[in-house]
Structure 1
Amino acid sequence: MKTRRTLKAVAVPFLLLTLTACGGGEGGDGSSTDSGDTGNGRYGAPPATGDGDSGGAPGLRTADTELGTIVVDDDGMVLYQFDSDDRGSGTSTCEGQCAQNWPAVPGDETPDVEGISGEIGTITGVDGSPQLTLNGWPLYYYAGDQEPGDLSGQGVGDVWWVLTPEGEPVRG
């Protein structure tokens, strides 16, 4: 019993420190949270709750949040843009640890879109796979968002932002 309490006393603070570590970091990569591959092709994102189809681009739709109406995928997972990317450049600058914390939104087919007025496109992501864009911004998930509607990535490092349906970052 004493061993369990000692283990808890050491493990709980360590776990909390590990899970809450976030910020700008090198290259604006955000959090050190690493949820691992969830088996649905979205590193760090929770498993899809839909029909189990893990291939192709996720559908895009809107959700009303405390930040206003923003872009999410079909599962309600929030999508982000990265200020270090150059809008419309056709390239992503998020690689290495950044790409683990901020996995690219796959774009290997045209997504179903509902309520989005910005232009949907694709680029070749840093891993060579197609990545969805909205109004020229490459789109990303945040590994720290565990549930649909989580906004944990908003403002991380003052470079990661949710997007309006028009494809404009919601800063602040």
Structure 2
Amino acid sequence: MKRFAFAAATAVLGLAALTACGGGDDTPAAAPQSQSTASTPDAGSAPKLATADVANFGKVVVDGNQRTLYVFDNDSAGKPSTCDGECAALWPPVKAGTAAPQLDGIDASLVGTVTRTDGSKQVTLAGLPLYQYAPDTQAGDGKGQGVLGKWWVVGADGKKITTPAGGSDSGNSGY
């Protein structure tokens, strides 16, 4: 029964994403609000940024749970995020805590924040806002790579990595 429920939920999420991205604009497809797993530190805590080997991308930036982080081509360095609302449900922003981020393998001078439209602070790397991808459910997933030709894993230097996703799945499966 659990296997059937999981398969049904996966099918519904995939179908919803397929329908949502048919609008023809640059806004990414949305995930249901319950899928959002924003990296939001507790009050008084700090986000964690580190590097890890993910897929065939080499060393990329990950959060404290080893979840791959991404940058969005529609964002500009030092400017607020352009991914809000439904977009942020699929691409949860890495929210800043009240303390300085904990870094491992990342130059502190590259890390900052921008203020989102809701007033919260989002962590940036080399000025670009950082995001998770909701379908990345495990450490080392990189399913968001190349989605819409605008979402990219990011290296410790803050530069996007445009290496295609490996294997038969290009990272754009239905999104």
Give me the TM-score of the superposition, normalised by structure 2.
0.74
Contact 2:27 2:87 in 1 (8 A): yes
In the TM superposition, what is the alpha-carbon distance from 1:171 to its structure 2 partner?
1.4
Other-structure match for 1:165 = 156
Contact 1:34 1:44 in 2 (8 A): no
In the TM superposition, what is the alpha-carbon distance from 1:125 to its structure 2 partner?
1.3
Q: 95-104 or 161-170: which moved more?
A: 95-104
Q: 142-151 or 160-169: which moved more?
A: 142-151
In the TM superposition, what is the alpha-carbon distance from 1:35 to its structure 2 partner?
5.8
In the TM superposition, what is the alpha-carbon distance from 1:127 to its structure 2 partner?
1.8
**Large movers: runs of 4+ above 4 Å:** 11-14, 22-27
Other-structure match for 1:82 = 72
Instruction: Give ranges in structure 2 of 5+ residues lacking alignment.
Output: 164-175
Amino acid across the alignment from 2:42: S
Tell me the secondary structure at the aligned position of residue 131 of structure 1.
strand
Tell me the secondary structure at the aligned position of residue 32 of structure 1.
coil
Other-structure match for 1:54 = 42
Other-structure match for 1:132 = 123
* Residue 70 in structure 1 maps to residue 63 in structure 2: no
Give me the TM-score of the superposition, normalised by structure 1.
0.75
Contact 2:31 2:86 in 1 (8 A): no
Contact 2:29 2:86 in 1 (8 A): no
Structure of larger gyration radius: 1
In the TM superposition, what is the alpha-carbon distance from 1:74 to its structure 2 partner?
1.2
Aligned residues: 154
* Residue 44 in structure 1 maps to residue 37 in structure 2: yes
In the TM superposition, what is the alpha-carbon distance from 1:82 to its structure 2 partner?
0.6
Equivalent pairs: percent with the same residue?
A: 38
1:122-151 CA-to-partner distances (Å, cap 9, x unmatched) read 110122101100000011111111111111
Other-structure match for 2:84 = 95
Q: Alignment RMSD, CA only?
A: 3.1
